[in-house]
Each structure stands twice: as C-alpha cells, then as structure tokens.
Amino acid sequence: MKDLVLYFSVYGTAKNVAEEIGRQRNADVTEIEPVIPYDSDKDHYNALARYAKKEHDEDIRPAIKNEIDIEDYDNIFIGYPMWWYTFPMIIYTLFDKYDFSGKTIIPFNTHMGSKDGGTYRTIRELEPNARVLEGLPVEMSVAEGDPSRQVEKWLKSLNI
C-alpha cells in the first residue's frame, strides 16, 4: 500500500497537517498548485475571502499548474482549508481532472469553527467509485501549531 498526501494551502495550515500526515504515514506529499497563485499575505485576508466567494458563487474552477500522478497510490489523503463553509474551488478542479475510482480517499481540512462543512459527504458524491474514509477537521490554531497528536489519533482510528 502506497500513500499520497495531496493538499491545497494558501496560509500554510493545511500544509502543516499534510506534512504531519506524510511523516506519520511515510507518504509522498504533493501540493495542489494553482496556475494563478493566491495572495498568501494574511494582511490581505479580506480580499482573499472576497475572491474565494466570487469563485464559489460563479462556479469558477481554477486550473492546477502541476501534473499529479495518482496512478501508483492506493490511499490518497486530500487536504484543504475551509473557504465559505466548503472546500476551495480548486478542489472541484482536482475531482474534475482526476479519476479516483478504486482509490481510497481520506480527506482532512483546516477550519475556524465549521468542521468539515459537509465536504466529506460532497467528496463521496463527486467520487462514487472511490472509498472515502472519515476525515479529519483540524481547528486553525491547532493546524498552525502542532497537529501531531490529533493526526496520530485519527490515523490510528482509520485502521489503514
């Protein structure tokens, strides 16, 4: 069994969790990179939030810059921050572009109170031919600090 951790992160919180999962699972870790980068300056948070809402409201699917090889992996962890109570639109692009049939998808996300916002259910709907395990919602302050204990407990509960 070979694991891949895919993540999208602007402020680094989902990246922190992704890297921790990668360490604990000895998995390959790959960032989902947008063709047009998002502004990662936290001082511009309101502008990013407005732009994310526009993408969501207009069903914009941002292009992914890097090619991602999922073929050789059995378990694929997919991580993202919560934007407007759902995942960023680039995650829809990921599911549009790649076929996860026969794979096991294990979602995780960072949030500021919305848990997973129903996104794990959405992944099951978008990928009906994949097995989707219970995800891990990580509160932002934990993700910015040390998520290792929370990740360890969650990974043990998955029995993979």
CATH code at 135? 3.40.50.360
Helical residues (DSSP H) of 13-159, grouped into ranges: 13-25, 45-57, 89-97, 119-126, 140-144, 148-158
Total Cβ atoms within 10 A of residue 99 = 12
CA distance 128 to 151: 26
Say how many domains are in the chain. Answer: 1
> From the CB of residue 138, how many other CB atoms can be counted at a distance below 10 Å?
25
Task: Dig out the tokens for 6 from the structure.
Answer: 């895919």
Domain that holds residue 143: 3-158
Amino acid 30: pLDDT: 98
Q: 45 pLDDT exceeds 90?
A: no
User: What is residue 133's predicted lDDT score, i.e. its pLDDT?
Assistant: 97
Residue 135 has pLDDT above 80, yes or no: yes
Q: What pLDDT does residue 113 have? A: 87
pLDDT category of residue 157 using cuts at 50, 70 and 90:
very high
Query: pLDDT per residue over 48-98, tens digit each?
Result: 889 999 999 999 999 999 999 999 999 999 999 999 889 999 999 999 999
What is the band of 17 on the pLDDT scale with cuts at 50, 70, 90?
Answer: very high
The pLDDT value given to residue 155: 97
Q: What whole-number distance in Å separates Cα of residue 115 and Cα of residue 149?
A: 18
119 phi and psi angles, rounded to 5 deg: -70, -30
What predicted TM-score, i.e. pTM, was given to this entire model?
0.95
CB burial of residue 5 (10 Å; 0-12, 13-18, 19+): buried
